[in-house]
Amino acid sequence: MNEDKAHFAPVDPVKAGFSASCPRCGQGRLFDGFSTIKPGCSNCGLDYSFADSGDGPAIFVILLADFLVVGLAVWTELTYQPPLWLHFVLFGPMAIIVSLWLLRTIKALLIALQYKNKASQGTIDRG
Ligand SMILES: [Zn+2]
């Protein structure tokens, strides 16, 4: 694994997360469709079967999207006191869009970090 890793310049996990690309080469796409992980990288052939972000992305999406959207809604209310329907029209779709974008981005970021740090299930060393 280390010898074939040497052919690739290290990819910044944040960059790989925002572009949803392969954590090893930074070129191939990570997702097949919206948030389904592809079997492997089409560019460098990295097997994505190690990738398991589990429930990790969901909690970050909840925390960040809530902070952003509810914070903005409260600020808007306190600053402009718009009618209630405007809140629904504005912040309803915004909550959905921000959540979906964050879900994809954070999932890719966590997988890139998992790859970089070689994180996996715990094993017992029976040396
Ligand atoms: Zn790749």
Q: Which helix (H) or strand (E) holds 58?
A: helix 56-80
What pLDDT sits at residue 81? Answer: 92
Give the pLDDT mean for 54-82: 90
Number of domains in the chain: 1
Domain membership flag for residue 124: no
Range of the domain at 29: 2-116
Ligand 1 centroid to Cα of residue 25, in Å, is 4
Domain membership flag for residue 126: no
What pLDDT sits at residue 97? Answer: 93
Ligand 1 centroid to Cα of residue 45, in Å, is 6
Ligand 1 centroid to Cα of residue 21, in Å, is 8
Domain membership flag for residue 64: yes
pLDDT above 60 (res 2):
no
Q: Which helix (H) or strand (E) holds 121?
A: none
Per-residue confidence at 127, pLDDT binned at 50, 70, 90?
Answer: low
Q: Cα dist. 119→23, 36, 43, 88, 94 in Å?
A: 13, 20, 23, 41, 33
Please state, in angstroms and rounded to a whole number, the distance separating the CA atoms of residues 32 and 99: 19
pLDDT above 80 (res 98):
yes
Q: Which helix (H) or strand (E) holds 36?
A: strand 36-37
Domain membership flag for residue 54: yes
Per-residue confidence at 88, pLDDT binned at 50, 70, 90?
Answer: very high
Domain membership flag for residue 31: yes
Q: What is the pTM of this model?
A: 0.77
Give the pLDDT mean for 78-84: 92
Domain membership flag for residue 74: yes
pLDDT above 60 (res 69):
yes
Please state, in angstroms and rounded to a whole number, the distance separating the CA atoms of residues 8 and 54: 27
Domain membership flag for residue 63: yes
Domain membership flag for residue 78: yes
Per-residue confidence at 7, pLDDT binned at 50, 70, 90?
Answer: low
Q: How many CA atoms lie within 13 A of 75 on its CB side?
A: 7
Ligand 1 centroid to Cα of residue 29, in Å, is 8
**Cβ-contact 27, 21 below 8 angstroms:** yes
pLDDT above 70 (res 73):
yes
Q: What is the DSSP letter of 1?
A: -
